[in-house]
Chain A
Amino acid sequence: MIECKNLSKVFNQFTAVDDLSFVANKGEVLGFLGPNGAGKSTTMKMITGFLQPTSGEIKVCGIDLFSDPIAVKNKIGYLPEGAPSYDEMKVCDFLIFIAQMRGIPKEMIATKVDEVIERINLNKVYYQRIETLSKGYKRRVGLAQAIIHNPEVLVMDEPTDGLDPNQKHDVRELITSMAKEKTIIISTHILEEVHAVCDRAIIIANGKIVADNTPAELENMSKYHNAVTFDATIDFSLLEEIKAMGCVRDVEYDAKRKKTTVFPAQSIYIFDEISGFLKKHKISVTRLSMEAGRLDEVFRNVTLDDVKEVA
């Protein structure tokens, strides 16, 4: 469990993190979302004890970070941004080094390293120097060092950044498989990832929390939530008729792709009404679907709000 209370970080008058408070519970994957420079990484660096907050409190598994940093660092596995490691070392030597630094007893080190190699699938590159590895493997080495001591808390800064779709899938699967018995925080600016792995998402903009919801709740905030889309050749007069329906707020028509999107009033469920209407007028539809909502639109809305206000 991670508790942050009124966390702030100021770098020479620039406020990177501004009065952040949140709790991440065991068994939860918490996603930090936000534009670049929003303060995601800075927050993670403070939780892992790399940076000293300007003010505020951090507790990890009930231990106060400032009164016992070593105990807290023992509980955390951390994958820094870009997954740094010692290029000139071999994968096995690097993992053994981390295990020694983490104070794993000598007789356990070989077992722990083997376990983690197996789990992250690093067998093939066991004796390779890290500088010769591909980006995907380097990232996996970073992940391996973060979980070698089976930490209760896992903090990962953009774990899938720069990976190809297969590698992304692997990393996400790994995160999901560990989610039950750990507290996990990941940061990302890839919105699909929120759906794929997170139970909860905190959107940060300019150092402040602007949204703290489950991914489904975030989608509910979208104007596309419960919107109905269909592909069909349709007269403008009929579109006007749809627009005039009580349950409809607005209609958008993409003439090029013959795609119509109907937005409901107050995000209510209008799928039956629209499909009934299309049937009644005998319009042949090639596709008819309801949207859950678009995260990217919500993301843009909540993170650009401040900018709009100023402008």
Chain B
Amino acid sequence: MSAKMAIIKRELQGYFSTPIAYVFIVIFLMLSGVFAFYLGGLYERGQADLSPFFNFHPWLYLFLVPAVSMRMWSEERRSGNIELLMTLPVKQSDLVLGKFLSAWIFVAIALFLTFPIWISINYLGEPDNGLIFASYLGSLLLAGAFLAIGSCISVASKNQVIAFILTAVICFLFLLAGLPMVLDFFNAWLPQFLVDTIASMSFLTHYISINKGVLDLGDMLYFLMVISVWLYATSLVLDMKKAD
């Protein structure tokens, strides 16, 4: 078994040997259902699609994903395990990637467990299952981007509470980068092309466009790029912060 696989397996076992995993999954399943049916009016709309369900995912992830990512590295630094990990004959990139992938797989498991809603909608009508698949993919990519941000913040702070709050705030900014509330702040003092750049970085814009069924390679690449950049940053911060 390669070192990366060993880390992924250990981390996943770590999630499930503490209550975090079960609390996360139960809350995620309950809230995603409640939001879809009560706030989104999934049933009353009389349309066979899952957009009311997927529309609320960014907001759920906003406070649930930081809860998963906050201990990814800060716990290792606090307990001193980081010294153990980083003196094993393993590349640093394998450590960073392994930890990130295990968190992503964990969120994917939670997402997979929402399948009853997919069965329900197929029972009620004839939805576009291709679109639903694309939406699941978009939701997973969005969670991955949040997790990568969380990984970087977690390595920068030994304190899990600070890691949680900072991750949530930064994810919030990235999510809403395309909305006036963020753009107005930059409009006043940044040239137009930079404001446009910020607007184009909005997670929400890319997420919605995937949700519409426009499986544009660009949107997916965008999320993968965000993940790579933040994981690279994680590696850099790890080098700076591991000693203190």
Contact = CB atoms under 8 A, between A and B. Distances in A.
A and B held together in a complex: yes
Nearest to A90: B17
A86 B243 CA distance: 19
Given A11-B243, A100-B3, A86 B83 contact: no
A101 B7 contact: yes
Nearest to B5: A100
Contacts of A51: 242-243
B87 A73 contact: yes
Interface stretch (B62-70, B88-96, B109-117, B210-218): B88-96
Contacts of B17: 88-89
A84 B81 contact: yes
Given A50-B242, A84-B84, A86-B10, A103 B79 contact: no
B170 interface: no
Contact of B88 (A81, A87, A88, A102): A102
Nearest to B80: A84
B192 interface: no
A50 B88 contact: no
A78 B13 CA distance: 24
A76 interface: yes
Given A97-B6, A101-B7, A102-B88, A45 B1 contact: no
Contacts, number: 71
B83 A45 contact: yes
Q: Chain A: interface residue count, which band? A: 20 to 34
Interface residues of B, number: 24
B20 to A, nearest CB: 11
A81 B10 contact: no
B86 interface: yes
Interface string A64-80: 00000011011010101
A101 B88 contact: yes
Contacts of A57: none
Interface string B16-41: 01100000000000000000000000
Nearest to B91: A70
B125 interface: no
A48 B91 CA distance: 14
Nearest to B14: A88
A3 interface: no
- Most-contacted residue by chain B among A52, A74, A97, A106 (CB, 10 A): A97
Given A100-B3, A101-B6, A103-B3, A84 B89 contact: no
B240 to A, nearest CB: 11
Contacts of B5: 100
Given A85-B81, A101-B6, A145-B84, A70 B1 contact: no
B87 A50 contact: yes
A33 to B, nearest CB: 21
Nearest to B94: A101
Contact of B87 (A11, A49, A87, A93): A49
B91 to A, nearest CB: 7
B89 A103 contact: yes
25 contacts: A11-B243, A49-B86, A50-B243, A73-B89, A78-B84, A80-B80, A80-B83, A81-B80, A84-B79, A84-B80, A85-B81, A85-B84, A86-B10, A86-B14, A86-B81, A87-B79, A88-B17, A88-B18, A89-B14, A97-B6, A101-B3, A101-B6, A101-B90, A103-B89, A145-B84
In the A-B complex, the 10 residue pairs with the smallest Cβ-Cβ separation, listed nearest first, are A100-B6, A84-B80, A73-B89, A80-B83, A48-B87, A74-B89, A84-B81, A101-B88, A88-B17, A78-B87
Interface of A: 11, 45, 48-52, 70-71, 73-74, 76, 78, 80-82, 84-89, 93, 97-98, 100-103, 106, 145
